[in-house]
Amino acid sequence: MQALLANDLDLNAIEPRLGAKYSPNLHAYLALERNRNHCRFARVYRDPDGVLWIGFPDDYFFVGARLSSVLVNGSKTQVFAHMRLVHTLVEVEGFWATYVRDGRCAIDVDHTRGFIGDDTRWAVTDERRTCNWCGNATQTMTRWTEAVEKTAWVAEPLPLAA
C-alpha cells in the first residue's frame, strides 16, 4: 500500500467568502465531517481520458469522486472506491497550491468551461476580457459569418401556353 501523504491543504484558505474564484461546492464537500480524510489526504488526479478525480489511493482502490461531480453536487457527492482507476490515475502535481492561487482556473486552465458564478470571472472591455480569478488569461471576441447551405422542394414553373 502506498503511504498517504497529507496534502497540506488549508481549508480556510479556499473559503468561498474569500473570493468567487473558490467553489462553494468543493469547499462544502471537503468541510464535511465524514470527508475529513479527504480534506487531509485528497489530491487531484487525471485519468487516461483526461477526466479529473479527487480522492486518494487506499490499498487496491481509489477512494473519491469525479471532480466535476463535486463541483455540481457539493456535500451530496457520493464517494466510491474505484478499483479500476487506481493504477491509471496520474496526479496533477501541485493542484492545491494552484487552486489556492487561481481558484477554479486551476480546474479550467484553458478557460473554456462555464461555472456557476461565472459572471464574476471576466472583466470585459469592448472586445477583450481578462480573467479576474487567476489574473492570467485574456480572450478576444472573435466574429465571423458562416454561409449556410439550405435545400427545399419548390414547384416548377408551368410551361407557357401558346
Residue 133 binds Zn ion (CB under 5 A): yes
Q: Which three cell numbers stand for residue 37?
A: 480524510
Nearer to Zn ion, 54 or 134 (CB): 134
Interaction between residue 39 and Zn ion (CB under 5 A) = no
Per-residue x/- marks for Zn ion, 105-124, CB under 5 A?
A: x-------------------
- The string of DSSP codes covering 17-85 is GG-TTS-HHHHHHHH-GGGHHHHHH-EEEE-TTS-EEEEEEETTEEEEEEHHHHHHHGGGPPPEEETTG
Q: Which is nearer to Zn ion, 59 or 136 (CB)?
A: 136
Nearer to Zn ion by Cβ, of 44 and 131: the residue is 131
Binding part of the chain for Zn ion, among 91-99, 112-120, 130-138, 145-153 by CB under 5 A, reads 130-138
CA-CA distance, 46 to 138, in Å (whole number)?
26
Interface residue list for Zn ion (CB under 5 A)? 105, 131, 133-134, 137
